[in-house]
Amino acid sequence: MEKILIIHNSRFGNSKGVTQTIFEGLKNDFETKIDHIKDIDFERDINGLYGLIIATRIISLRPNLEIRKFIKKIDSYRKKTIPKTAVFYMHEMKWREHFKKGMDKTLGKLNNIKSIYPNYLEVTVDGNRGSIMEGQERKINEYINNLKIFLKS
Ligand SMILES: Cc1cc2nc3c(=O)[nH]c(=O)nc-3n(C[C@H](O)[C@H](O)[C@H](O)COP(=O)(O)O)c2cc1C
């Protein structure tokens, strides 16, 4: 089975929760793993990766800088392109397309992350510590179903 790594740097548990839902959706079709970025061993986890899924928290109107720095490191470590990448966003405020701009910029500059799933997911949390707002499940599940098609294509 192809290897998929779902990465996050969740602080209050909400983005980690969504990574777990995605994990459940993918685990029968892919060798799937979830990791906090601080626990990733490049040799063990990044070599041989087929797909990378990035949980991104919106902090001060922008995609969190730590996770952006981390994916830049992956790019300089990996010699071969990661075949498939997807991003999803966690936020508290009403979603604005420009929130994701910094992540688009980061991804656009990388050499080894190229095929990026265009239909990103954004999940709203209640207050700046969460929990996940009611009514987000349907869109999360729809995202997972479409993501599977992208990953298999
Ligand atoms: C310091 C701070 C700044 C934040 N700034 C924003 C923001 O500008 N826009 C927004 O929609 N959410 C903002 N949030 C809410 C975060 O997006 C939310 O806490 C995060 O996605 C939760 O993820 P976690 O539970 O996995 O840590 C902020 C949260 C914190 C703690």
pLDDT-derived band at 128, boundaries 50, 70, 90: confident
> How many whole angstroms from 49 Cα to the centroid of ligand 1?
29
What is the C-alpha to C-alpha distance for residues 79 and 39, in angstroms, rounded to an integer? 21
- Give distance in angstroms: CA of 46 to centre of ligand 1: 27
* Cα–Cα distance, 151 to 51 (Å, whole number): 7
- What CATH code is carried by the domain that includes residue 48? 3.40.50.360
Does residue 13's CB lie within 6 angstroms of at least one atom of ligand 1?
A: yes
Coil, helix or strand at residue 17: helix
36: helix, strand or coil: strand
What spacing in Å lies between the alpha carbon of 136 and ligand 1's midpoint?
16
Kindly report the protein residue whose alpha carbon is nearest to atom 4 of ligand 1.
59
Write out pLDDT tens, residues 136-145. Answer: 999 999 999 9
Residues 76-120: tens digit of each pLDDT: 999 899 999 999 999 999 999 999 999 999 999 999 998 999 999
- Tell me which residue range forms the domain holding 104: 3-152
Per-residue model confidence as pLDDT tens digits over 46-67: 999 999 999 999 999 999 999 9
Tell me the torsion sign for CA atoms 134, 143, 29, 71: negative
Residue 67 phi/psi, 5-degree rounding, is -70, -30
The whole-model pTM stands at: 0.97
What Rg value do the Cα atoms of the chain yield, rounded? 14
Query: Which tokens sit at 76?
Result: 């300089």
Count up the domains in the chain and report the number: 1
Helix 65-77 × helix 101-108 angle, to 10°: 10
